[in-house]
């Protein structure tokens, strides 16, 4: 991933301040947090994943409709495999999801001085578990058996404490780490301590990760306008599906079930993250920087 523009840190800080104001004034309960998180993730978070088809077209020869359908089948097959794994072994699936989420999110700081890449990835998962262990355990219990949920919450909190100590140590002992990445991660740890886990995740995922990934990817892709059109179309389908899901949860009942919404959001993200990570890994290995894929295509390579 290319070096990140400064405006992304400013935007992340502004979104974090707004979320803190919202939390102080509204103090949303779990149901309201979930009802806000689902559409926010669909509208602001998932469009960066909607670029996966244009990315695949840039890195593999997906000639014609048959080639594109083959990619879609493989992509959805991998996602379905994650869902099946979660149904058969939810405890293992939760641990695996947390692990590869740290790896995936750490790429937001891939150009940062060591060890800030890894402290950033750990903070995205470890900060909520460190500061809100009971709430995180409850959320994990919606996704896995109680024993696995407790183990995952404890292990994640330990990882968070280690990551926080390493971050502070880096700030004190390594002057070269005191840059934009440090500011972003200071904000991350701050909102991890001040915001409930679901609000924290929404702010990070929508206010930094998705925007950063989308901006870096769209600038490296050839046929930018077409890629944006595909992303807009797929995002529209995702938003409609999210609206249908929320309405279906509220019709004919006293209210939506937290467990169902948590499972839909996080198991869905887990399923899509696996093929997304594989694709992004291939994309990054080929692009290596802004504009490289455009150069490759224009030169016929």
The residue extents of the domains of the chain are 6-298
pLDDT for the residue numbered 300: 42
Question: For residue range 122-160, what is the model confidence (pLDDT) as tens digits?
Answer: 999 999 999 999 999 999 999 999 999 999 999 999 999
Tell me the pLDDT band of 55, cut-offs 50, 70 and 90: confident
Which residue is listed with tokens 């292990």? 155
Of 149 and 289, more confident: 149
Binding residues for Fe cation: 48, 104, 209, 213
Tokens of 212: 């950063």
- Least trusted range by pLDDT, from 206-220, 223-237, 285-299: 285-299
What is residue 113's DSSP assignment? P
CB atoms within 10 A of CB 109: 24
- Least trusted range by pLDDT, from 25-29, 133-137, 205-209, 225-229: 225-229
Query: What global pTM score does this model have?
Result: 0.83
- Least trusted range by pLDDT, from 11-20, 58-67, 224-233, 272-281: 224-233
Q: How far is CA 251 from the centre of its chain?
A: 29
Per-residue pLDDT at 164 exceeds 60: yes
Question: For residue range 69-84, what is the model confidence (pLDDT) as tens digits?
Answer: 888 899 889 999 999 9
Average pLDDT, the chain: 83
Per-residue pLDDT at 218 exceeds 60: yes
Per-residue pLDDT at 166 exceeds 60: yes
Tokens of 272: 């899509």
**Angle formed by the axes of helices 52-59 and 64-88, to 10°?**
120
Binding residues: 48, 104, 209, 213
- Taking the alpha carbons at both ends of the chain, their separation in whole angstroms is 21
User: 155 Cβ partners below 8 Å, 6+ apart?
Assistant: 95
Per-residue pLDDT at 289 exceeds 50: no
Highest mean pLDDT among 31-45, 107-121, 150-164, 207-221: 150-164
What is residue 210's DSSP assignment? H
């Amino acid at each position: 991933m290319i070096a990140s523009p400064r405006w992304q840190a400013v935007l992340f800080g502004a979104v974090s301040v707004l979320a803190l104001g919202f939390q102080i004034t509204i103090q949303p309960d779990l149901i309201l947090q979930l009802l806000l998180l689902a559409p926010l993730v669909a509208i602001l978070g998932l469009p960066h994943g909607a670029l996966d088809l244009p990315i695949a077209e840039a890195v593999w020869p997906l000639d014609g409709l048959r080639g594109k359908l083959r990619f879609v089948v493989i992509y959805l097959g991998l996602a379905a495999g994650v869902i099946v794994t979660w149904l058969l072994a939810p405890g293992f699936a939760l641990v695996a999801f947390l692990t590869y989420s740290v790896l995936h999110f750490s790429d937001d700081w891939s150009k940062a001085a060591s060890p800030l890449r890894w402290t950033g990835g750990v903070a995205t998962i470890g900060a909520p578990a460190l500061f809100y262990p009971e709430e995180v355990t409850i959320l994990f219990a919606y996704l896995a058996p109680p024993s696995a949920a407790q183990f995952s919450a404890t292990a994640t909190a330990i990882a968070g404490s280690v990551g926080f100590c390493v971050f502070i140590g880096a700030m004190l002992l390594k002057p070269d780490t005191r840059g934009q990445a440090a500011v972003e991660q200071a904000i991350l740890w701050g909102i991890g301590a001040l915001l409930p886990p679901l609000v924290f995740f929404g702010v990070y995922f929508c206010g930094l990760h998705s925007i950063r990934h989308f901006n870096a990817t769209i600038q490296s892709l050839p046929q930018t306008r077409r890629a944006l059109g595909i992303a807009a179309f797929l995002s529209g389908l995702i938003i409609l599906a999210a609206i249908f899901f929320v309405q279906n949860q509220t019709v004919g009942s006293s209210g939506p079930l937290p467990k169902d919404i948590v499972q839909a959001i996080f198991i869905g993200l887990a399923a899509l993250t696996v093929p997304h990570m594989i694709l992004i890994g291939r994309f990054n290995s080929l692009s290596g920087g802004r504009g490289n894929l455009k150069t490759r295509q224009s030169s016929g390579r």
